[in-house]
Structure 1
Amino acid sequence: MTEKKYSKILIANRGEIACRIIRTARRMGISCVCVYSDADINSVHIRQADESRHIGPSPSCLSYLNIDKICEVAVETGAQAVHPGYGFLAENPDFPRALQKHNIDFIGPSAETIEVTANKITAKEAARKAGVNVVPGYMGKISDTAHAAQVAEEIGFPVMLKAASGGGGKGMRIVYSKKEIELAFTSATNEAEKSFKDGSIFIEKYIELPRHIEIQIIADKYGNVVCLGERECSVQRNNQKIIEETPSPFISEKVRREMYAQCVSLAKQVGYFSAGTVEFVVDKDQNFYFLEVNTRLQVEHPVTEFVTGIDIVEEMIRTSCGEKLRFSQDDIKLTGSAVESRICAEDPSKKFFPSSGRIKYYDKPNENSYVRIDDGVAAGSEISMFYDSMIAKVITYGKDRIEAISRMQKALSECYIEGVTNNIEFLESIFHHPNFIAAKLHTRFIPDHYPGGFHGDFVTEEYIKMFIFASLYVHLENEEKYHNQPVDGIFIVVVNDNEYSVNAKYQDNTLTTIYNHNTYSVSGKWKSSHKLLNIMINDDADVTLKVEKQGSKYFIKHSGMKAECCALEPHVAELSKLMLNNEAEGVLVDAIKSPISGLLVKLHVNVGDQVEVGQPLFVVEAMKMENIICAEMTMVIKNISVQEGKNIQIGDVILGLLS
């Protein structure tokens, strides 16, 4: 086999993964062609590319999933190969076949391998042949709801309905009883069809409270297969990963080696080359069962790159060119620990419904040898309802898991996004959760610890003190600027309706205060248009807090906690108690509004229906996911304002209710 050298590649993707591929390709001396849809005309990946081409309207089926158009652009620009990134066409065997007709390489495995392994049904058949442990289930295509109910009862509830093609949590539903089958089957099938152009569904036994652990493999075209360690991906919401780490704090070296052996056997069975990931569920006794093969680069690949020192994108390009692997299994040393957070445009307080809109402010920590940011956005970027909700990834490294987590805590505190609802504070909460720190993980970690969603953690005594210092610092800094002289005296600091009397002085950018009979010196520094405040307490504790000023109040967030604060002089505090509270005692609900923007794909109610709590009302498709909106109270439907098939915006009235 003759080795090649690419001078130009096309990236058939968008956002952060396109930017990440550009970074490696440019270091290798390869120029990059990027493609974009109407929604992405001002995207960061277009600005970073050497060349860019428009490929169609915003819906992915008319642009990023348009094989003929992407092939046409690849030919026109003289690209010698195409990197698919993840999602979209990355696991569609028709794509490399189409490229092959134009003598253009696909940077990934062969079409034949993808056909076998990217489809979860045929992948399980191949896994069995390779001697890999598999989860019990029905591997044939489920034809309809009745068939799904029959198979589920034969296997025994709970079961998992899964899309045969694709991944990323799309087309996946956990079903605990027969009455849930119809809605789950319809929704999963629709989601799979829209995301992967394949609505095929299969069913397998759902292993309760498992860990989700995957092995990263890299293989060349000569039969050499190397495993690059495992990743723990158990912290998920809506069956989608949100935090990943390596190495797993759970599995033993013995089990790791057993998983390696099965992965190599499977790779050889299907003739695998390029990067890929073999995913497993692992029970409490470290018994592991094959889930699927992802025949592409994974979102979470950076954690593996941190602990192995291997650039996985570079190795994909090299193996595509026909190079042999430059290392063997014995050369792979897992050094230290790395964790990754996915920052997503979603609302953790509302079932993680996706959010869209324009980013007004965007701030992030500085990158260094132990902090990495993979993103494809900037202030002014539009988060579109047409694509995945992920905005950026934060990855941190440490000599061990605790150090990596500590660095993640600090990095997340320095991340600020305004304009789009996001999950940064929720991620901070998880990384401070004692069970996460203790590695007590499983795939129901979020549903179990945040059953009602995330609404902010309880503010502890330690953080009350920090919020007091931040409130005083901001208030007295403004006072000094106004009076042009030092400010000192007794102040009343209110933190979430609790009052604290504090003696404080502000001079020369330093707050000196006495709290609980201890003296503290607090210096501060602003960044991001006065949205992030970094304070140093007694030249020791270095903390970054998010501060939003509204009138005389400060809304402060840190470590998943938030507080409404203000600092007042004593006489002002007394007068404020006499102010009338004009807040309404209650709100009469006479309509149901959409909590997200998207396409209204299904109405589950009619005029006159009596609806109970938890009953499905309607389904909104947004960011390639179907979101089922359920009743939160007993109600009677008076009228329906929007019909199926219409685009709706957040806040639009969908249903009128009888009062």
Structure 2
Amino acid sequence: MSTISRLLVANRGEIACRVMRTARALGLETVAVYSEADRQALHVHEADQALPLGGTKPADSYLRIERILEAARRSGAQAVHPGYGFLSENAGFARACEDAGLIFLGPPASAIEAMGSKSAAKRLMEAAGVPLVPGYHGEAQDLETFRQAAERIGYPVLLKAAAGGGGKGMKIVEDEGELAEALASAQREAQAAFGDARMLVEKYVLRPRHVEIQVFADRHGHCLYLNERDCSIQRRHQKVVEEAPAPGLSAELRRAMGEAAVRAAQAIGYVGAGTVEFLLDERGDFFFMEMNTRLQVEHPVTEAITGLDLVAWQIRVAQSEPLPITQAQVPLHGHAIEVRLYAEDPDGGFLPASGSLRLYREPAPGPGRRVDSGVREGDAVSPFYDPMLAKLIAWGESREEARLRLLAMLGETRVGGVKTNLAFLRRVLGHPAFAAAELDTGFIARHQAALLPPRPALSEAFWQAAGRAWLAQLPTQGRDDDRHSPWAAGSGLRLGLPATVSLHLCCSGEDRRLSLRLPTDAAPPAIRQGELLYVEWEGETLAVSAFDPIASAEAAHAHSGGLSAPMNGSIVRVLVSVGQAVEAGTPLVVLEAMKMEHSIRAATAGTVTALNCREGDLVGEGAVLVEVQD
């Protein structure tokens, strides 16, 4: 039996921290690896050892197999946990670990090869009689082949990266006119994220639910399914809300899906934690989508309803221990819901955001509450990696108890310095359709008006409240040894001084002049961080600052006539040249950030007068990339 005493985690962020937490509880030493951008990251701080990989982009750091193996050798680690993403489903990495004498906390390379390619997995499942969504999973990758396949299947179709997941390299194509551009973009994304540009195409099933089965297998031929999760609430083909068990599933359907998932795992000699994903239609028919040969982001909800630690199981199975329970003994207690807190802009098409976490406060711990995070206040959110900051998980005896508990947790969370989906998550969980468990993958689009309402101008009530909070939070200029002393107050009545105070404040691109009477009272909750004041208002944390006329003029000048980068990232394509006439909506530049491509398009018809970027350039948020004269 192999013994592990030191574990290297070949990942970053919250999953690296979460794996280390269980490893420490089992008495293992932990080793972190990090890129140049992650030198001060939380997972580096929490490990017993930390070794650099160099580089900043994944291709120069977390995807460099030889550097990870060298770090394992230098640290004396006996085992490697791949987390999820990066190399977690890379058969070459699993095989390289084995060749180096390391224990890989995942399935054999052969199982990854069998399921890591969506196309190969579809053929395996078809041979095993598992129902499949109509599609093309062949080797030919030319445009004409995909055109013919899409015509045969019928639009709309879904392009998917054969070697990936997480929404990378995935495009919905509504008609033939969109196919060429969508295919080229999806292939570039797939190559950048997975080092493999191969694609497949499937019929886009309308109003499906995304239900997945957690499976676990040991080295002795035993395999269990640990109930199911519903992951139907998604944006940009990435999950936002996950819950377990899936609402409304009968015991018979749960058993049928679970047994199908176990057959799929056993057919490829699977070992460890894996997830078999299905599309479930309104009639109760389910179709195999893919198998993720790794631990999933949403595994905490399964842990919450079973009371099991899946990472601990991974470590024990890797040491050849048998599974500790039988299928009949798998628990299912209560209900759990998880949300993913992302640095992104829901009002801007969920584009990833980057910057500094000027404010970061997690909800208070307590029964049925869990937060898995990989950041701290003051950390930088890099444009090079996935923008997830944390996962908030709530458990309850019932689904409603879990929902209300999670809403309370979101209400206690404070983030400032980067845009997040925090308010959006609160609207999703608070929506009557979610409370009624009316779930499918079109949930967000169907309820867009309520979930993504137009952002109105800040009200007069807000500005008055912000002004009161600003004065209440002014740094004390008198006594600081007695907070009850009238001389310690930052504002208030002063004999011989005016009874009103004038302020000029900024927030969310707006500014307002205020005249407030002293003393102020009834100020809303606020937190001062340096020159910024973070004010809680209608479920959002808004940053308020003093108006700076010079900065305002510079910003207005920088954006006049120019199209700027919506986030930090790298330029992958420049599609126009100076002097070229363009129509409104014409793609000008393609920006890659956080492993996704984003097209910068002309807002109006005009002529390109300046190009301020080249392919390969790293650009910052707000940088003017192209100037177009109307």
- Normalising by structure 2, we get a TM-score of 0.86
Q: How does 1:12-31 map to 2 (within 5 A)?
A: 12-31=10-29
CA distance in 1, matches of 2:210, 2:258: 15
CA distance in 1, matches of 2:587, 2:326: 53
Alignment of 1:649 onto 2:629: no
Mark the CA change 1:40 to 1:478 in structure 2 (over 3 Å): closer, same or farther: closer
Provide the residue aligned with 2:414 in structure 1.
416
CA distance in 2, matches of 1:335, 1:422: 32
Provide the residue aligned with 1:599 in structure 2.
570
Per mean C-alpha deviation after superposition, the further-off stretch among 221-230 and 247-256 is 247-256
Shift of residue 473, structure 1, vs aligned partner: 8.1
> Which consecutive unaligned segments of at least 5 residues does structure 2 have?
475-485, 495-507, 511-516, 545-552
Shift of residue 71, structure 1, vs aligned partner: 1.0
Q: For 1:317, what is the secondary structure of its paired residue?
A: helix
Q: 2:83 aligns with which of 71, 82, 85?
A: 85
Mark the CA change 1:585 to 1:91 in structure 2 (over 3 Å): closer, same or farther: closer
Q: 1:144 aligns with which of 134, 137, 142?
A: 142
Conserved in 1, the CA contact under 8 Å of 2:466 and 2:535?
A: no
1:386-439 per-residue CA deviation (whole Å, 9 max, x = no partner) reads 111111111111111111111111111211122222211121121222222222
Shift of residue 76, structure 1, vs aligned partner: 2.1
Q: 1:123 aligns with which of 121, 137, 160?
A: 121
Q: How does 1:448-487 map to 2 (within 5 A)?
A: 448-450=446-448, 454=452, 474=469, 481=489, 482-483=491-492
Conserved in 2, the CA contact under 8 Å of 1:429 and 1:457?
A: no
* Residue type at the aligned position of 1:204: E
Provide the residue aligned with 1:112 in structure 2.
110
CA distance in 1, matches of 2:189, 2:332: 37
Alignment of 1:633 onto 2:604: yes
Conserved in 2, the CA contact under 8 Å of 1:426 and 1:560?
A: no
Provide the residue aligned with 1:404 in structure 2.
402
> Which consecutive unaligned segments of at least 5 residues does structure 1 have?
486-495, 498-503, 512-521, 532-547, 565-581
Shift of residue 443, structure 1, vs aligned partner: 1.4
Provide the residue aligned with 2:499 in structure 1.
none
CA distance in 2, matches of 1:477, 1:79: 53
Provide the residue aligned with 2:273 in structure 1.
275
Conserved in 1, the CA contact under 8 Å of 2:428 and 2:434?
A: yes
Shift of residue 447, structure 1, vs aligned partner: 2.6
Provide the residue aligned with 2:365 in structure 1.
367
Q: 2:223 aligns with which of 207, 225, 230?
A: 225
Q: For 1:298, what is the secondary structure of its paired residue?
A: coil
Provide the residue aligned with 1:557 in structure 2.
537
Shift of residue 449, structure 1, vs aligned partner: 2.4
Shift of residue 506, structure 1, vs aligned partner: 10
CA distance in 2, matches of 1:295, 1:154: 31
1:98-136 per-residue CA deviation (whole Å, 9 max, x = no partner) reads 111121110010000000011111111222233322111
Q: For 2:409, what is the secondary structure of its paired residue?
A: helix
Alignment of 1:334 onto 2:332: yes
Provide the residue aligned with 1:615 in structure 2.
586
Mark the CA change 1:632 to 1:142 in structure 2 (over 3 Å): closer, same or farther: farther
Shift of residue 469, structure 1, vs aligned partner: 12
Per mean C-alpha deviation after superposition, the further-off stretch among 610-619 and 310-319 is 610-619
Shift of residue 368, structure 1, vs aligned partner: 2.2
Provide the residue aligned with 1:356 in structure 2.
354
Provide the residue aligned with 1:347 in structure 2.
345
CA distance in 2, matches of 1:55, 1:555: 39
Mark the CA change 1:562 to 1:224 in structure 2 (over 3 Å): closer, same or farther: same
* Residue type at the aligned position of 1:194: A
* Residue type at the aligned position of 1:73: A
Q: 1:54 aligns with which of 52, 55, 76?
A: 52
Q: How does 1:137-536 map to 2 (within 5 A)?
A: 137-450=135-448, 454=452, 474=469, 481=489, 482-483=491-492, 528-529=527-528
- Normalising by structure 1, we get a TM-score of 0.83
* Residue type at the aligned position of 1:354: P
Q: For 2:389, what is the secondary structure of its paired residue?
A: strand
Conserved in 2, the CA contact under 8 Å of 1:458 and 1:561?
A: no
Shift of residue 152, structure 1, vs aligned partner: 1.0
Conserved in 1, the CA contact under 8 Å of 2:473 and 2:528?
A: no
Could you say which structure has the higher strand fraction? 1
Shift of residue 31, structure 1, vs aligned partner: 0.6
Mark the CA change 1:601 to 1:505 in structure 2 (over 3 Å): closer, same or farther: closer
* Residue type at the aligned position of 2:232: S
CA distance in 2, matches of 1:597, 1:376: 20
* Residue type at the aligned position of 1:237: R
Q: For 1:425, what is the secondary structure of its paired residue?
A: helix
Mark the CA change 1:636 to 1:34 in structure 2 (over 3 Å): closer, same or farther: same
* Residue type at the aligned position of 1:252: S
CA distance in 1, matches of 2:319, 2:65: 22
CA distance in 2, matches of 1:436, 1:361: 29
Q: For 1:349, what is the secondary structure of its paired residue?
A: helix
CA distance in 2, matches of 1:454, 1:281: 26
Shift of residue 598, structure 1, vs aligned partner: 0.9
1:333-390 per-residue CA deviation (whole Å, 9 max, x = no partner) reads 2111111111111111111111112211211112222111111111121111111111
Mark the CA change 1:626 to 1:606 in structure 2 (over 3 Å): closer, same or farther: same
Q: For 1:203, what is the secondary structure of its paired residue?
A: strand
Mark the CA change 1:161 to 1:505 in structure 2 (over 3 Å): closer, same or farther: same
* Residue type at the aligned position of 2:306: T
* Residue type at the aligned position of 1:62: D
CA distance in 2, matches of 1:474, 1:654: 38
CA distance in 1, matches of 2:558, 2:376: 38
CA distance in 2, matches of 1:142, 1:430: 41
Q: For 1:267, what is the secondary structure of its paired residue?
A: helix
Shift of residue 318, structure 1, vs aligned partner: 0.8
CA distance in 2, matches of 1:52, 1:633: 50
CA distance in 2, matches of 1:429, 1:445: 12
